[in-house]
Amino acid sequence: MTLGKSFFAVYTATVLTFLGSCSLAVAAADCQQPKAGTSEIPIFSPPVSQVVKGKGKVQFYSAPNNHCAIKGVFAVPKDKLLTQAQTDDGWSSVTYTDPKTGDAVSGWVRTARLKEPSAAGSKFAAPAQ
């Protein structure tokens, strides 16, 4: 009976390790940057300024794939992002520049969490004539 439990534990650990390494390999392959400027991912020229909407953090990803999160990199509501490209399945390639430090980070976010800033009362609005 003990031998059976030991075999089962070793077998389970081996299978889980194998599955884990397979999923990491798949995730790594899926995290390749897609080629922007194609019919699937058109580039905006010039880039479009957008603002994060909704509640909570907006996770940045290294590629348009939920398995490609960039740990510790996110935007928060009202942050301004520069959008360079969008996919048809709801991803935007963006750059955030910290207004205090000037440091910039680029990645992919879910398009549904972005909106173009409104002209009325916005810092983006042209001055009244």
Q: What is the pLDDT of residues 67-111, one digit of tens each?
A: 999 999 999 999 999 999 999 899 999 999 999 999 999 999 999
The order of strands in the sheet holding 58-61 is 69-75, 58-61, 104-110, 91-97, 80-86, 43-52, 114-115
Q: Whole-model pTM? A: 0.66
Residue with tokens 């534990």: 9
Domain definitions of the chain by residue range: 1-30, 43-115
Q: What is the pLDDT of residues 5-42, one digit of tens each?
A: 443 333 434 333 443 433 444 455 589 877 777 766 76
| List of residues 6+ apart from 70 with CB closer than 8 A | 59, 60, 61, 62, 107
Beta strands in the chain (DSSP E): 43-52, 58-61, 69-75, 80-86, 91-97, 104-110, 114-115
Architecture of domain 43-115: Roll (2.30)
